[in-house]
């Protein structure tokens, strides 16, 4: 834990030095012009497919609006899930060092959930529901920990890919750029912390676990990455955008070669890290 302790010292100090009050920081406009893009075009789930090419400009703008609401809805649900898992590990045996940063992590993630939910309800009038995914329970606490913290890391890195691009896209309204900018600022620290936890618990597992247990974790993480990307293809979004049969559109888009290549780009950094540490056996997409 010595390397982790040094990283935690740095991250705790950074959280203190860079703290901002999200309840005061953002200037929420009464509305967002629906003639503007609400999501960067290359990030839209059907971009690069004939589906997108056949849309007119008003349809593309409407789709971008609901894709944006879906993205922030995914964040609300993902953050709630990860918060529950982290809270359950604060100041329990084995987490003495990480708990020093957990307090900052919990506070920051709760604030992220606040501004993502506010965006959805202010400008979309709703938060899209999510499939309830229960983290599987393992008798081995270390295996449960690697599953939990790998899920958190994968989720955060996928989201951060979108944050970085939308934070600097001047085609987007200022409030959308600012939300993504501030989330990326916080997540860069969370990702550094998460990678350390994942490596730490994985080393412990590899020392004592059977090949079948290790393979089971690797397969689980592979499926979780695939599932994480599939959440962007929400049939409710396509229905709200007036595009027709949402489930048919989802099926047509998700396996299109342009989208598969996009999935590879989004997850490239994460997959490279997991492959480097043998948490995956092979590429995912």
Tally Cβ neighbours within 10 Å of residue 181. Answer: 14
Q: How remote is the C-alpha of 34 from its chain's centroid?
A: 25
Residue of 11, 281, 271, 14 lying closest to 158 (CA atoms): 271
Please tell me what DSSP assigns to residue 43: G
SS3 label, residue 119? helix
In the chain, what is the straight-line distance between the N-terminal and C-terminal CA atoms, in Å? 33
Burial of 23: CB neighbours in 10 Å, binned 0-12, 13-18, 19+: exposed
SS3 label, residue 273? helix
Record the pTM.
0.94
String of b and e for 259-283 (b: at least 16 CB within 10 Å)?
A: beebbeebbeebbebbeeeebbeee
Dump pLDDT digits (tens) for 116-134.
999 999 999 999 998 755 5
Tally Cβ neighbours within 10 Å of residue 53. Answer: 10
**What confidence score (pLDDT) does residue 208 get?**
86
**What confidence score (pLDDT) does residue 138 get?**
63
Task: Mention every residue, 6+ apart, whose C-beta is less than 8 A from residue 201.
Answer: 142, 145, 146, 149
Distance in angstroms (rounded) separating the CA atoms of residues 226 and 233: 12
Helix axes 141-167, 257-276, angle to 10 degrees: 130
Residue 239 parent element (H or E): helix 235-240
Residue of 72, 50, 273, 79 lying closest to 162 (CA atoms): 72
Residue of 65, 71, 73 lying closest to 31 (CA atoms): 65
**What confidence score (pLDDT) does residue 3 get?**
77
**What confidence score (pLDDT) does residue 136 get?**
58
- Per-residue pLDDT tens listing for the chain (285 residues): 577 788 899 989 999 999 999 999 999 999 999 999 999 999 999 999 999 999 999 999 999 999 999 999 999 999 999 999 999 999 999 899 999 999 999 999 999 999 999 999 999 999 999 875 555 566 688 899 999 999 999 999 999 999 999 999 999 999 999 999 999 999 988 998 999 999 999 998 888 889 999 999 999 999 999 999 999 999 999 999 999 999 999 999 999 999 999 999 999 999 999 999 999 999 999
Domain 2-15+43-276: give its CATH code.
1.10.620.20
Distance in angstroms (rounded) separating the CA atoms of residues 214 and 84: 25
**What confidence score (pLDDT) does residue 140 get?**
83
Dump pLDDT digits (tens) for 27-70.
999 999 999 999 999 999 999 999 999 999 999 999 999 999 99
Structural contact between residues 11 and 101, judged by C-beta atoms closer than 8 angstroms: yes
Distance in angstroms (rounded) separating the CA atoms of residues 88 and 79: 14
Residue spans of alpha helices (H) in 88-234: 98-119, 141-167, 174-208, 211-230
Residue of 80, 160, 72 lying closest to 122 (CA atoms): 72
Tally Cβ neighbours within 10 Å of residue 187. Answer: 20
């Amino acid at each position: 834990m010595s390397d982790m302790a040094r990283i935690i010292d740095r991250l705790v100090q950074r959280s203190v030095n860079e703290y901002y009050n999200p309840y005061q920081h953002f200037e929420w406009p009464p509305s967002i012009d629906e003639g503007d893009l609400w999501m960067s075009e290359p990030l839209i789930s059907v971009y690069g497919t004939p589906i997108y090419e056949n849309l007119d400009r008003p349809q593309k703008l409407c789709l971008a609006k609901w894709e944006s609401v879906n993205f922030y809805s995914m964040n609300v649900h993902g953050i709630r899930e990860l918060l529950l898992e982290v809270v359950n590990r604060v100041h329990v045996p084995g987490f003495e060092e990480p708990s020093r940063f957990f307090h900052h992590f919990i506070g920051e993630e709760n604030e992220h959930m606040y501004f993502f939910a506010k965006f959805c309800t202010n400008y979309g009038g709703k938060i899209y529901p999510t499939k309830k995914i229960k983290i599987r329970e393992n008798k081995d606490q270390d295996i449960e920990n690697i599953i939990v913290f790998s899920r958190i890391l994968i989720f955060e890195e996928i989201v951060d890919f979108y944050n970085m691009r939308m934070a600097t896209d001047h085609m987007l309204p200022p409030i959308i750029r600012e939300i993504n900018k501030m989330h990326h600022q916080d997540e860069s620290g969370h990702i550094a912390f998460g990678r350390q936890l994942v490596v730490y618990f994985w080393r412990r597992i590899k020392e004592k676990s059977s090949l079948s247990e290790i393979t089971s974790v690797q397969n689980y993480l592979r499926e979780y990455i695939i599932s994480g990307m599939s959440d962007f293809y929400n049939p409710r979004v396509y229905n709200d955008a007036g595009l027709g049969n949402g489930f048919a559109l989802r099926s047509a888009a998700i396996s299109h070669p342009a989208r598969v290549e996009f999935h590879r780009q989004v997850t490239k950094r994460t997959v490279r890290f997991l492959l480097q540490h043998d948490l995956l056996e092979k590429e995912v997409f």
